[in-house]
Amino acid sequence: MPDHALTPERIIAAAEETLRRFGPAKATVVDVARALGVSHAAVYRHFPSKTALREAVTSAWLSGVRQPLEEVRAGSGRPAAPLLREWLTVLAHQKRDRALRDPELFATYVALVGESSGAVEAHVSELVADLTGIIAAGVEQGVFRVADAGTAARALLNATSPFHNPAYAEAWSRPSFEQDLQDVLDLLLRGLS
Q: Binding residues for a copy of itself, how many (CB under 8 A)?
A: 24
183 belongs to the binding site for a copy of itself (CB under 8 A): yes
Instruction: Map residues 126-165 to x or -, x wherever contact with a copy of itself holds by CB under 8 A.
Output: -------------------------xx-xxx-xxxxx--x
Please answer whether residues 59 and 113 qualify as being in contact, where contact means their C-beta atoms are separated by less than 8 angstroms. no
Q: At what angle do helices 103-115 and 50-73 cross, to 10 degrees?
A: 110
Distance CA 47, CA 38 (A): 14
Tell me the three state secondary structure of residue 24. Answer: coil
Q: Nearest approach, Cβ of 74 to a copy of itself (angstroms)?
A: 27
Q: Nearest approach, Cβ of 189 to a copy of itself (angstroms)?
A: 8
94 belongs to the binding site for a copy of itself (CB under 8 A): no
Distance CA 130, CA 87 (A): 9
111 belongs to the binding site for a copy of itself (CB under 8 A): no
Q: Nearest approach, Cβ of 155 to a copy of itself (angstroms)?
A: 4
Torsion of CA 60, 170, 154, 180, to 10 degrees: 130
187 belongs to the binding site for a copy of itself (CB under 8 A): yes
Q: Nearest approach, Cβ of 23 to a copy of itself (angstroms)?
A: 22
Distance CA 193, CA 186 (A): 11
Largest Cα separation within the chain, whole Å, is: 59
Q: Nearest approach, Cβ of 185 to a copy of itself (angstroms)?
A: 9
Torsion of CA 69, 72, 76, 79, to 10 degrees: -110
86 belongs to the binding site for a copy of itself (CB under 8 A): no
Where do contacts with a copy of itself occur on this chain (CB under 8 A)?
151-152, 154-156, 158-162, 165, 167-168, 170, 180, 183-184, 186-192
